[in-house]
Chain A
Amino acid sequence: MATSSSVDAPELRGRLHRKKSIILVLICTILGAAAQLLLKLGSADVDTSSLWLTAWSMATSVSLIGGLGLYGLSTVLFIYALRNEELSLLYPVISLTYIWVTIASVIFLGETISWWKIAGVAVIVGGVAYLGKGNGQQNLAGSPMVAESEGVQTK
């Protein structure tokens, strides 16, 4: 066990911040996936026979209101997490939402899974994770490890 004297305070704080941000974003992905599930379930409540009925049926659907509420909450939490942490670290985590939605669609909605879907989602997840990497390098030119070690004091 490391004694407190061997770890300086900013380093420890940096690590705790990072852990907290990652857990926060992980919660965002679960809330985000639950939101999509509710939006899909609530979409059955929508009556498109007229513009007025479409708006009314959307505004009064409990599932849709719940879905939008969760989506909003997940977005606010994500923005909050972004304030303290590099995009390059959080984008790979946020891209997990696509995996949760695929799994939830099969389990809760009885949708079929195919190799096309698995391949498509896997490539999209990789793409979203890569986008964050591009953003991290924008501020910290050079290796992605710079973003990883940012905030951690080296001796």
Chain B
Amino acid sequence: MSATMSSILLVLLASFVGSFGAVLLKSGSMRASGTPLSMILNPRVIAGCVTYVLSSVFFILAVRQGELSFLYPMIALGYVWTMLWSKLVFGEPFTKNKFVGIGLILVGVALLNLGRK
């Protein structure tokens, strides 16, 4: 057994929730004055850390019923969401290389799932 369907869905949820953590951290660090204390006490940075913990909770529930070597690589799908939020929230441009990277990640996850037992 590689993993159950519910553990695959939980990993997808973990990667989706985790991508918001990156957005919150970036947005918080842009507002903070730059000193370590201002970073740690920034509400958005704190919210980002809480989001990462929440994402980890879903990941832990996912790996209970599946192989780590099958489920962990799928966390890379988070980059797909992160690229989308980077464009929508921060106006970072899509580049050809980003598309190639995202395409490769999607192909890699598809290959993993083709081998799912």
B64:A127 contact, CB within 8 angstroms = no
Q: Is the beta-carbon distance between A39 and B73 smaller than 8 angstroms?
A: no
Q: What does the 1/0 interface line of B90-101 toward A look like (CB < 8 Å)?
A: 001101111111
Cα distance A68–B53 in the bound complex, in angstroms: 8
Q: DSSP majority for the A interface?
A: helix
Interface size on A, residues (CB 8 A): 49
Q: Which residue from chain B places its CB closest to the CB of A68 in the assembled complex?
A: B56
- For window 79-117 of chain B, which residues contact chain A by CB distance below 8 Å? 79, 83, 92-93, 95-116
Q: Would you call A120 and B63 a contact (CB within 8 A)?
A: no
A120 touching B97, Cβ below 8 Å: no
A138 touches B92 (CB 8 A): yes
Q: Which of A47-92 contact B (CB under 8 A)?
A: 48, 54, 58, 64, 68, 71, 75, 79
B residues in contact with A121, CB < 8 Å:
73, 108, 112
Measured between alpha carbons, how far is A70 from B107 in the docked complex, in Å?
Answer: 29
Given contacts A127-B103, A134-B95, A138-B95, contact A116 B69 (CB under 8 A): no
Give Cα A122 to B76, complex, Å: 12
- Having A120-B112, A121-B112, one finds 11 other A-B pairs with CB under 8 Å, namely A40-B63, A40-B68, A43-B63, A43-B64, A58-B60, A117-B73, A124-B109, A127-B79, A130-B101, A134-B95, A134-B98
